[in-house]
Amino acid sequence: MPNHIVVLSEEIANKIAAGEVVERPASIVKELVENAIDAGAGDIRVELEKGGTASIAVIDNGSGIDHEDVAFAFERHATSKIRSFEDIYRVTSLGFRGEALPSIASVARVELLTRRPEDLSGTRAVVEGGVIKEIAPAGCSAGTQIRVTKILENVPARRKFLKTESTEQSLCLDVIVRLALVHPEIRFKVTAAGREIFSAPEAKDISARIAFVMGADFSDHALSVAADQEGVALSGFVSRPEFTRSNSKSIFLFVNKRFIRDSGVSHAILSAYRRIIEPRRFPAAVLFMEISPGDVDVNVHPAKMEVRFKDSRAVHDLVSKTVAGSLACRETAAGGFVYRLAPREGQTFSPVFRKDRDASADFAGLYSRRNLEQAISQDLLSRSQVAEAPVTAGSGYGDKQQITFNNYQYLGQFAGTYLIFAGGNGFMLIDQHAAHERILFEKLKKSSAEKVASQSLLLPEVVSLSPGELALFSGCIDFLQEIGLAVEIFGRDAVVVKALPAILPQTESREIISDIVDELAEQNKISDLKERKEKILAALACRAAVKANHVLTAEEVMALCRDLAETPGNATCPHGRPVIVNFSVSEIERMFKRK
């Protein structure tokens, strides 16, 4: 018997519609803070309980809501931002669909207090499950206060997919940081469980706010970007090549003060860094585009984080050429100008002329990779001394005959990355980075069960973190101590590194910390402490492992092969990529049509 078509109840329809807007607590924070910005607020305070999973409060000093409009604010598609269909393509406000409050109220309990500055009294409204329970006069300060509780309680199927409290809190902070970056005129303050975790005072301009929010590490490695072409104005900052992250989450893109995710613009940025940063590393960037509202469609998705450009190719080319131009200027910066962000006091950025410094000073970061490679070489060589027989490095095949792995003889290195071995059954390729990464991971994993030795730094290094990153990082301090990484929280936006695990070759503390944070910030739910620890160990191993395009000596290859043979799980790296690829004789014969 065929199923009949039925009309869904209003309750079910509202919950389905709400699912497009309210994905998690961070979605609620985004919608409410954007409403506060649209209301002209100069001071916005956000209060989180249990990472936003228990309650969220947003308090602002904006224009407030008229008493007669309060009930309409909870009706679907009720908005003060547009009046006609054409207005959608001219909209300049952050919110305009009229879906935020009704969507939130359909999956939670919402209590609203609001008063316009010119009114003597305000209004209190309580809405739960999409039903208005109360609307009455109330005394309150000018502006709007919204408290959301019982979040997703009537949608348990969605609530069970929420992550840990620290992860949800980090995602909420990420939303606020994005909005704080583009609105320096607004004061932001965030508290969690009554403790202040983020505060951004009013800044005189964008550069001062970026310097404050992004931290000293980004500020010290920032290059200015500016261009204006065919109705598109581009400005902002990108990182110098030596400042990289393990993923693209430090790339912030804004169109008409709206944070967006756009694969085309991201590709344009990355293409400018092609061949000047390591593979699988990403720059940091904060870029702003001002474009006519008629030339960009912000109505592509209910969350309004995706846009469609009228001329996407022109935008791509402008971003790519402008970023590449800034990086090219940087290459000759030792004899000219270097643009840097303002210090945290709020001064505007300006060119700093350097003529009393050695040229290598501005490029010191580029040589850190060489130092790392030298340390890795020393580490491999020190362990190769216990090999059964010495090996003389050379270019001939006979020099490599004594290096074996699984009864395969070493032939040489290809592309500075892959080790080639041949045997009676065929040949194999070993990815040197993946192999060394697995070796270090297993050693760290084994050492974490004991008290691992650490190497104190001559000078402790302060590493700046965003509020969201610090929230993720703070829960792992004790475990980091166990594996020899001595780290302490340093103020509201940084950690200080005092020692590194002695088992690792020398590397940069800042990059280790950023890679750990990036691993913890991955979208997969990390409720298991063991999984969280393994992610940290994987980040440490990846950072310290020998890199691709690094030529290994015969002695280093021998040490690597011996350690790999003794390492469990050596078929893949800690991230799941293959370490070894085999080619059998029969496969090769089929390729040459011999079979």
Structural domain count, the chain: 3
Has residue 370 been placed in a domain? no
Dihedral over Cα of 257, 262, 264, 265: its sign: positive
229 and 153 belong to one structural domain: no
Q: What percent of the chain is modeled with pLDDT above 90?
A: 24
68 or 515, higher pLDDT: 68
Q: Among 55-69, 86-100, 184-198, 267-281, whose mean pLDDT is lowest?
A: 86-100
Round to whole Å and give the CA distance between 164 and 170: 10
What confidence score (pLDDT) does residue 221 get?
Answer: 87
Is pTM beyond 0.85? Reply is no
192 and 215 belong to one structural domain: no
Q: What is the mean pLDDT of residues 51-69?
A: 93
Has residue 198 been placed in a domain? yes
544 and 476 belong to one structural domain: yes
Report the Cα 133 to chain-centroid distance in Å.
40
509 and 489 belong to one structural domain: yes
182 and 212 belong to one structural domain: no
- Is residue 366 scored above 50 in pLDDT? no
Q: Among 144-148, 458-462, 532-536, whose mean pLDDT is lowest?
A: 532-536
| C-beta separation of 407 from 396 below 8 A | no
Has residue 3 been placed in a domain? no
What confidence score (pLDDT) does residue 554 get?
Answer: 86
Three-state SS across 135-175? Answer: EEEECCCCEEEEEEECCCCCCHHHHCCCCCHHHHHHHHHHH
Round to whole Å and give the CA distance between 301 and 296: 13
**Of the residues 326, 357, 388, the one at which a domain ends:** 357
Q: What percent of the chain is modeled with pLDDT above 70?
A: 75
What confidence score (pLDDT) does residue 359 get?
Answer: 31
Round to whole Å and give the CA distance between 298 and 95: 10
420 and 293 belong to one structural domain: no
Domain CATH for 399: 3.30.1370.100
Q: Among 307-311, 366-370, 477-481, whose mean pLDDT is lowest?
A: 366-370
Confidence of residue 243 (pLDDT cuts 50, 70, 90): confident
Has residue 364 been placed in a domain? no
| C-beta separation of 294 from 345 below 8 A | no
- Is residue 249 scored above 90 in pLDDT? no
38 and 137 belong to one structural domain: yes
519 and 505 belong to one structural domain: yes
Has residue 591 been placed in a domain? no
pLDDT in tens, 11-34: 666 655 555 568 889 999 999 999
Q: Highest mean pLDDT: which of 61-70, 209-218, 363-372? A: 61-70
Could you tell me which of 499, 514, 540 has the C-alpha nearest to residue 215? 514
- Is residue 85 scored above 60 in pLDDT? no
**Of the residues 181, 202, 223, the one at which a domain ends:** 202
Q: Among 170-184, 203-217, 412-426, 479-493, whose mean pLDDT is lowest?
A: 479-493
341 and 442 belong to one structural domain: no
Three-state SS across 239-276? Answer: ECCCCCECCCCCEEEEECCEEECCHHHHHHHHHHCCCC
What confidence score (pLDDT) does residue 354 get?
Answer: 30
Domain CATH for 335: 3.30.230.10
**Of the residues 151, 177, 202, the one at which a domain ends:** 202
What confidence score (pLDDT) does residue 518 get?
Answer: 77
Coil, helix or strand for 104?
A: helix
pLDDT in tens, 319-357: 999 999 888 775 433 333 334 444 434 333 333 223 333
Has residue 265 been placed in a domain? yes
Q: Residue 262 sits in which domain range? A: 207-357
